[in-house]
Structure 1
Amino acid sequence: MDRRRGHALQDAALAAVVGGLGLAETWVPFESVFGVGSPVVSTVGIVAAAALLSQRRLRPAASIGVFVVWLALGVATLGELHALFFGQIVPFMVALYSLARHGAPRVAWSGAASAALTLVFADLSMPVLQSFDEIVFHWTVLAVAFAVGWGLRTSEDRAIAAAVRASEAEARSRERTIAAIADERARIARELHDVLAHSVSMMVVQAGAAAEVVEDDPAFARRALESIRATGTESLDEVRRVVSILRAPDDAAGLDPQPGIAGLHGLVEEVRAAGIAVDLAVTGDVEAVPPGLALAVYRIAQESLTNVRKHADATAATVRVECGSDAITVAVIDDGRRTAEQVLEPGHGIIGMRERAGVYGGRLDARRTPDGFAVHAVLPWAAT
């Protein structure tokens, strides 16, 4: 909007200058005034043309009116008009340039046809314009004005098209890069799985062997334990190296401790600060929950509360975490309303929660309730 207002002010100023020069030329008068005509009629044409030129970029088709006005005045006076440079030729040049530069092709060529019709009428009805030099002059300068505007328009269109192609090429290149990185990370993750599976299998076998002979052959048991320690150290180093590769470069919080069930209190406080009343209840032996399972509980609650803030017009929510003997149950219920599309076509958040629950052999259900929306997850202990 600011740009359009700027264009309007600039065009109004240009129109005022062109109109002022035309009026001065008519009433002073300048030596560029030729022919027999009425200053009053010329003033009408100059003021009307200036008003139309004030819209030359916001409404390019209005510039066609510049030629229509002078043609109408010429017909009405039977060709008894002043021949003006600042009052006619200059406005014609500005109008033709504006039509070619800013108007649609159909509008531009319609304007060119109107200008040609006006010039033909003037050449036939005004003796002062019928000399060879005069005809060459006014036809040439107006053709040049139109050609300059059309050339700048074509250059701009080509530049825009080139910029769009470059942007699309960059986007495709970025997508290919991201896809290649994702494929490589998936390959690294599979290799890490194979390495860890092999190392852990060796550690389990060695630990079992050491347990069998710990009393009969302490030296063998000691060597087995040393081997387990070395294998575990190598595996841990390999995990750290791979994680450093898989972590995004801008992951500034990569070294922070992973949150768990205890972090739910801080999470709830953040949501409360956003204006949603949240009630948190955690029951059972929280300390006995393994770190990975505790992280899964936290992420499910975090994503559920994020959805409450972003996609639901909710005023209150309830978070329940129950650490039972067989499984951990997570329930997040809110009083917000969601559209049918949001329920039938879940976003990445709900899909991610279901995948996270599936990693631990659990299940997650997200559905609309009579009073709002509910997310319910069950994560069994057996997976850990």
Structure 2
Amino acid sequence: MERLSRGQRLTDLAVAALLALVGVLEIWVPFESLMGDGSRVVSTIGVLWYAAHLSQRRSRPWVALAGLLVWPLLGLVVGADDMHLLFFGQLIPTLVLAYTIARHATGRYRWIGTLGVVAFVTFADLFVPLLREPSELIYHWGNLTLVYLVGHGLRVSADRAAREAVRAHDAESRVREAELAAIADERARIARELHDIVAHSMGMIVVQAGAAEQVVEDDPAFARRALSTIRTTGSSALSEMRRLVGVLRDPAPGADFAPQPGLSALPDLVETARAGGLDVRLQVEGDREELPAGVDLAAYRIVQEALTNVRRHSAASCADVHLAVGPSAVRIEVTDGGPARPVAGPPGHGLVGMRERAALYGGRLEAAPQGTGFTVRAELPLERV
């Protein structure tokens, strides 16, 4: 049994009521479609019986199918020759039932219902003389076949649409899972890098504190400079530690413990890209020497990933890298001339990683087509210590 909404049940009741009304009017007006001689009262009972059963055609389909029995039973009571033949009271409801079976029936009811309708129409052809005319046979069998095929076609289309919707949902779920996995991997990588920065800062503090302790009486000026360095380094390390506790650290086996790169390594990065066939034009504005270590690393990684995306996804032969270090933020822009080219295999997660790095420092990243090419813009706010 199909579970119906209230609106669907009301629709079925309205259709059944309309069929009953038109069928009764066909008998008592009467319409020109009324054929044969018979009792109007008996025919009215048959029409109302059939319509009442059809009101359950989707919620209780076996009840609707049982409504077909009314006409053979009445034929046995009053005789087939004395029954009215109704277009609106008999044929139209039968076509509605056939459409419903083809469109909505499931399981064994679909085949039993189809056979029931066919048997009913065949019974009428065999025992009602007016229906044996060739024109009548062609008319009602043609209509029955057409209505059934329409219902079946709509059913196939709906099933195909449902399968496509499920497939699209599964694909979207897989993409989302891959994106979440990429975010987790990128956060773990960022955590490892921040851990190295903090560890380096702590090591520097220990060294400076030891040196200051040794010369605090003999060289107070050196001790003061050491303490100033400790304060600056400790403040920077504390800021990085706040970010680190918000990122899941999951060190991978064989992690790289080499010193983390910064913007000072951009020339080497540009030379590597040029060696790979991409002509990179680098423009740097502002003083990058006093940047916090975490921001320095994040800016480098964003430029690195943006250039990697140019090599992977663009047919451009050159790219422009513009880096501006201001008093309140570091601004990065990487532009290529395109055009884009298709890449085999699953999509990468470079943009996800860049956005994660920018968000970690309260910044933002925009990546969008520009002309025939593509542009990545990032802004990393500075917290001067």
- Give 3-state SS (helix, strand or coil) of 2:100's partner: helix
| Contact 2:191–2:247 under 8 Å retained in 1 | no
1:25-58 per-residue CA deviation (whole Å, 9 max, x = no partner) reads 1122222112233323322221111101111222
| Contact 2:208–2:230 under 8 Å retained in 1 | yes
| Contact 1:32–1:84 under 8 Å retained in 2 | yes
| Contact 1:7–1:58 under 8 Å retained in 2 | no
Shift of 1:137: 0.5
* Partner Cα separation in structure 2 for residue 74 and residue 195 of structure 1: 95
1:317-369 per-residue CA deviation (whole Å, 9 max, x = no partner) reads xxxxxxxxxxxxxxxxxxxxxxxxxxxxxxxxxxxxxxxxxxxxxxxxxxxxx
Aligned to 2:148: 146
Aligned to 1:6: 7
Aligned to 1:56: 57
- Give 3-state SS (helix, strand or coil) of 2:5's partner: helix
**Which protein, 1 or 2, shows the higher relative CO under an 8 Å CA cutoff with sep ≥ 6?**
2
**Cα–Cα, structure 1 residues 192 and 183, in superposed 2: closer, same or farther, change >3 Å?**
same
1:45-98 per-residue CA deviation (whole Å, 9 max, x = no partner) reads 211111011112222232212322223333444422221101111110111112
User: Structure 1 residue 206 and structure 2 residue 208: aligned?
Assistant: yes
Aligned to 2:170: 168
Shift of 1:233: 4.1
Tell me which of 77, 83, 86 is aligned to 1:84.
86
Aligned to 2:67: 66
1:5-32 per-residue CA deviation (whole Å, 9 max, x = no partner) reads 3222222221111111111111222221
**Cα–Cα, structure 1 residues 76 and 121, in superposed 2: closer, same or farther, change >3 Å?**
farther
Structure 2 alignment gaps of length 5 or more: 249-385
Aligned to 2:226: 224
* Partner Cα separation in structure 1 for residue 181 and residue 63 of structure 2: 51
TM value normalised by structure 1: 0.59
Aligned to 1:319: none
Paired letter, 1:144: L
Structure 1 alignment gaps of length 5 or more: 247-384
* Partner Cα separation in structure 1 for residue 243 and residue 6 of structure 2: 57
Paired letter, 1:172: R
Aligned to 2:47: 46
Paired letter, 2:13: A
Aligned to 1:35: 36
Shift of 1:210: 0.4
* Partner Cα separation in structure 2 for residue 42 and residue 142 of structure 1: 22
Aligned length, in residue pairs: 245
Paired letter, 2:199: A
Identity %: 53
| Contact 2:20–2:89 under 8 Å retained in 1 | yes
Shift of 1:218: 2.0
Aligned to 1:133: 135
User: Structure 1 residue 101 and structure 2 residue 103: aligned?
Assistant: yes
* Partner Cα separation in structure 2 for residue 193 and residue 71 of structure 1: 86
* Partner Cα separation in structure 1 for residue 247 and residue 223 of structure 2: 36
